[in-house]
């Protein structure tokens, strides 16, 4: 067959070509690449170390803060003029023991002072209900500016009767051991009545138009002291006295 006869010839040709190429590669001399000399580097002078100045810490002065003191304003409480009785005491219609009592002040209780008399011996105080009455200095404690209280003029008590006397008839032989004493006095203008005491005990009260009183039961064998007071709305006058010796 034609194909098989040609194959040996082609193989022989290929081998011949390969041999020739190999010979050419062996015989060729490859010229070495020229070596390029390195350019000399300039020599730098050695670096001189520059000393760095050492930092010195400058102390910063410490600011001492002054503490702020908070000032708290203390409210000023005004001192109130007061009277404090040391014992239970009468509080009267006016500045004097001859004025009628209105009430009793309680020991240890403070009462505001709203007035005084001109001698600073009696004080007008205000009661819890709003009424006022008078109490004396004795037996009381004074608190605050009581001397600055306004002077108050109270309704005056009547003057005492100008004359007061007693007459009697002593009959020792009576079986009742009593006798009669007749009391008389001068009337007082403005009086609303009179009050009579015998040896300190209340004996009788009579009207404003009266000027005589008869004690039908005066005891015998006893010295008798009679007191008479004129009365008005403020109180009673200073008493006047009549002394009757004992009837034996």
Walk me through the domains of the chain, giving residue ranges and CATH numbers: 82-148 (2.30.30.40), 164-244 (2.60.40.10)
Average pLDDT over residues 38-62: 58
In a 10 Å sphere around its CB, with 0-12 CB exposed, 13-18 middle and 19+ buried, how is residue 214 labelled?
middle
Which carries the bigger pLDDT value, residue 112 or residue 173?
112
Q: How far apart are the first and last CA of the chain?
A: 212
pLDDT band for 37, please (50, 70, 90 cuts): low
Place of tokens 């138009």: 209
Identify any residues that bridge with 216 across adjacent strands, giving them in sequence order. Answer: none
Residue 234 reports pLDDT greater than 90: no
Identify any residues that bridge with 140 across adjacent strands, giving them in sequence order. Answer: 85
Q: What is the pLDDT of residue 26?
A: 45
- Among 109-113, 136-140, 237-241, the range scoring the smallest mean pLDDT is 136-140
Residue 129 reports pLDDT greater than 60: yes
Which carries the bigger pLDDT value, residue 198 or residue 19?
198
Residue 111: CB atoms within 10 A of its CB come to: 24
**Are 218 and 247 spatial neighbours (Cβ–Cβ below 8 Å)?**
yes
Q: Which of 185, 122, 120, 183 is nearest to 159 (CA)?
A: 185
pTM of the entire predicted model: 0.55
pLDDT band for 161, please (50, 70, 90 cuts): very high
pLDDT band for 114, please (50, 70, 90 cuts): very high
Q: What is the pLDDT of residue 98?
A: 84
Instruction: Output the CA angle 15-20-23, nearest 5 degrees.
Output: 125
Which carries the bigger pLDDT value, residue 66 or residue 244?
244
Edge to edge, the sheet with strand 122-126 lists 101-105, 89-92, 132-136, 122-126, 111-116, 82-85, 140-143
């Amino acid at each position: 067959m034609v194909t098989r006869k040609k194959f040996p010839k082609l193989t022989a040709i290929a081998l011949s070509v390969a041999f020739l190429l190999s010979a050419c590669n062996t015989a060729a001399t490859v010229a070495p690449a020229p070596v390029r000399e390195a350019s000399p580097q300039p020599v730098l002078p050695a670096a001189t170390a520059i000393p760095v100045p050492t930092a010195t810490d400058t102390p910063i002065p410490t600011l001492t803060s002054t503490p702020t003191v908070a000032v708290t304003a203390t409210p000023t409480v005004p001192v109130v003029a007061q009277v404090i009785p040391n014992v239970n005491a009468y509080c009267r219609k006016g500045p004097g023991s001859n004025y009628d009592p209105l009430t009793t002040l309680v020991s240890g209780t403070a009462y505001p002072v709203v007035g005084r008399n001109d001698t600073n011996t009696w004080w007008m105080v205000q009661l819890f209900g709003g009424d006022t009455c008078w109490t004396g200095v004795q037996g009381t404690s004074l608190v605050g500016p009581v001397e600055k209280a306004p002077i108050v003029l109270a309704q005056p008590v009547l003057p005492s009767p100008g004359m007061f006397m007693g007459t009697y008839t002593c009959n020792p032989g009576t079986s009742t051991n009593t006798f009669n004493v007749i009391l008389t006095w001068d009337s007082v203008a403005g009086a609303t009545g009179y009050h009579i005491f015998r040896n300190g005990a209340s004996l009788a009260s009579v009207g404003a138009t009266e000027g005589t009183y008869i004690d039908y039961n005066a005891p015998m064998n006893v010295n008798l002291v009679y007191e008479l007071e004129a009365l008005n709305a403020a109180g009673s006058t200073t008493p006047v006295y009549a002394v009757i010796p004992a009837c034996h």
